[in-house]
Structure 1
Amino acid sequence: MNNTARTSRRVGIAGAGAIALASAAWLRRAGHGVTLWSPRGPGADALRTQALEAGGIETFSVRVEVARDAAELCAAADVLLLALPVNGHRRTMDALLPFLRDGQTVIVSSMASLSSLYLHEAAVRAGRRVTVASFGTTVLTARRESATQVRVMTRRQAIGVSALPGAHVDEAVALCTELFGEGFFAQGSALASALANVNPQSHGPLAVFNWTRIERGEPWAQYHCMTPGVARAIEALDAERRAVAAAFGIALGPIEAHFARSFGTTSEKLADIAAELHAQRGGPPGPTRTDTRFVSEDMPYGLAFVEALGAIAGVPTPATRTVLDAASLVNGIDYRRENDLVEPLGLARETVAGLLARL
């Protein structure tokens, strides 16, 4: 971990979950000022009087500030980091928008379903000149152990960054490097960042084909249960993700390359990669609640989003549709309707050329 910041930044973090707490610990340890705000209530209040304890990669404690509301968070920060589930992005962005200042950068981690485009276009309409940067995945992987404790498990080795306006991407990469350290590289557009996230493609089949374990609350290890058959389904979804991206002029590597970049795996086949990770890490544990983000986030904002893009570009996505339908059927929820970004972004009325022009 880089313990000395070359330039001290004031970072405001929206969120109080695992990634928010891990990012707060990491940034504060590096010498940056950190203020947390929990958009969903008093989730960060304990940190007003207690230290944030981090374990995992390193063990240490830091003190952070806690904002009462969106206005106080924006006033305290030069840089904002949105580190919360994507089903809270639109609501949180709407809360922050009136208080954004010209020159601020908002980093969306991780971005899905073009939530960063939603914020950028809303800011333009409001007359705010801000940069919205996007990660397709999180810099850190972590587990929240309590309101004041977080376990940081991984610092990913390579993270793509996009920006809106696109001309600001080099500045965004430099800023992210200043905050978190080396490993960031420029991506061509926010759409590339959104489609670079392979969580929906891996989590969707894992959830659907291990649903009885989830519903009964049984313990199960994700990579151990990524059997050859489940891996085959994941590979089919990943092929559709890359085909949709190609229709928008975006070249993406396969999911196997993502695992190699993120975790240093050496196996070539996905099922073997899963076995390698299980042998190394023995986890992470699979979800044991039916409201898991594997379905509440990854279905509407991941698979339904890919399906919507496929409809724009005329790219068939039958495997994506099948897994999305299965998850909707078993939960009694139409996950296509759960996405609150597709409609305000006007994707049903968009064309390939039109969407690319907006990016």
Structure 2
Amino acid sequence: MASITKQDIITIIGAGMGGKGLAAQLGINGFRLRIQDIDDAQVAGMRAAGGLHVEGRDVTFAPVEMATTDLAAAVKDAAVLIVSTYGTDHPVLARQLAPLLEDGQTIVLCQGHFGGALLFRAELDRQGCKAQVDIAEMDSYPYMLHVKTPDSVIMTTIKTKWNLVAMPASRSAAVLERVGIAFPNMVTAPNLLHTGFVDLGAIFHVAGMVTNVSRVENDESYNFYTANMVPTVCDLIAKLDAERVAVAAAYGAKIMNVREWLALTYTLANPTLQEDMQEMGRTHFRYAPAPKSLSHRYLVQDVACGLVPIACLGPLAGVPTPACDTVIRFASLLTGRDFYAEGRNLHALGLEGKSVAEIVATVTG
């Protein structure tokens, strides 16, 4: 599959902080861009300005050819569709895209959370989508940034490395060849388990939310990492992380633990996890807005799409997940929701009734 060129159209679906960051970085790098969101307030500023004003990079303006709420117009003739919506929105978006997709298009979920590409592909199939498209997911979001106004952002860190996997995984190399020019630090991973189990943000975010409810629901501004990452919270992160690594290993996925991941991704190498998290808050995430509600994606999305799959896959492979189970149940009690039922459980992922070996075969393709 030939690489895209800077004359090909990239459409970004979702114009929140993630979508604006993608538009800023890809725009200043010279790619032709469209951006779409269901909320016109997210795209109106870019439409009026013709793009995004950018701080923190040598180039200060990222042109955007189309900023719209019209999904069909945004998708038409685009070479690549980058999905930057909440993971909880993936099934709905797949249903909306099914009749609009064209042969040869590439869909990249940025990010997939756990099994996003698997879920997306299954939903397109259920809708009878006939277009021949590639679907892939990233294991994490590549940029750190701050949205100043609807048409301006401050860009800070670019991660040193992140992974991409297609569904089926046999298409990963072709997809990377297709879109890699836009994401130079991205590499392929063996299968969707390697991207799904590397969603560290879910663990950081959920641990920081359920242990700091009073701060979340207080009107005062705060830095999520420097304020919340005290020793006990970091101990909880370590316990959740140990379960994540153990469950992944049971499915043949050898992944980095949290300290190794922080060292590779953010070059953090302090004596303790707490010091790493504090430094991350002071530097890479110094502009990141902190959650002010328990309905924030740091809790709702990351429990449903991050912790629930670990807690469901663990027992099937004989790996207990008491920390994940406790946090999921507590998050459900706090919010009045049943995250086990609404999250990416085995049924939602299309893995119910399969053995460990069958699941590995399914995600590898």
Amino acid at match of 1:335: F
- CA distance in 2 between counterparts of 1:166 and 1:108 reads 14
Task: Give the aligned partner of residue 221 of structure 1.
Answer: 223
1:253 maps to 2:252: no
Q: Percent identity?
A: 25
**TM-aligned CA distance change 1:189 to 1:39, over 3 Å:** farther
Amino acid at match of 1:192: H
**TM-aligned CA distance change 1:358 to 1:210, over 3 Å:** same
Task: Give the aligned partner of residue 309 of structure 1.
Answer: 313
Give the CA deviation at 1:279.
5.0
Paired residue for 2:182, among 179, 182, 194? 179
Structure 1 residues 157-236: aligned runs within 5 Å: 157-180=160-183, 182-224=184-226, 225-236=228-239
Paired residue for 2:347, among 333, 343, 349? 343
- CA distance in 2 between counterparts of 1:62 and 1:164 reads 31
| Conserved? CA contact 1:162–1:169, under 8 Å | yes
1:111 maps to 2:115: no
Amino acid at match of 1:153: T
- CA distance in 1 between counterparts of 2:164 and 2:25 reads 19
Q: Please give the secondary structure, in 1, of the residue aligned with 2:54.
A: strand
Give the CA deviation at 1:298.
0.7
- CA distance in 1 between counterparts of 2:35 and 2:188 reads 27
| Conserved? CA contact 2:14–2:85, under 8 Å | yes
**TM-aligned CA distance change 1:28 to 1:278, over 3 Å:** closer
Give the CA deviation at 1:234.
0.1
Q: Please give the secondary structure, in 1, of the residue aligned with 2:223.
A: coil
| Conserved? CA contact 1:22–1:54, under 8 Å | no
- CA distance in 2 between counterparts of 1:18 and 1:173 reads 24
Structure 1 residues 26-105: aligned runs within 5 Å: 26-41=25-40, 43-50=42-49, 51-58=51-58, 60-64=60-64, 65-105=66-106
| Conserved? CA contact 1:16–1:43, under 8 Å | yes
1:133-160 Cα deviation digits (max 9, x unpaired): 2101011122333322222222111011
Give the CA deviation at 1:34.
0.4
- CA distance in 1 between counterparts of 2:40 and 2:5 reads 34
Q: Please give the secondary structure, in 1, of the residue aligned with 2:214.
A: helix
1:18 maps to 2:17: yes
| Conserved? CA contact 1:132–1:163, under 8 Å | yes
Task: Give the aligned partner of residue 325 of structure 1.
Answer: 329
Paired residue for 2:158, among 155, 160, 163? 155
| Conserved? CA contact 2:40–2:68, under 8 Å | no
TM-score under structure 2 normalisation? 0.89
- CA distance in 1 between counterparts of 2:150 and 2:170 reads 39
Amino acid at match of 1:139: P
Give the CA deviation at 1:341.
7.0
1:213-263 Cα deviation digits (max 9, x unpaired): 111233332332211111110010011111111111100001112212222
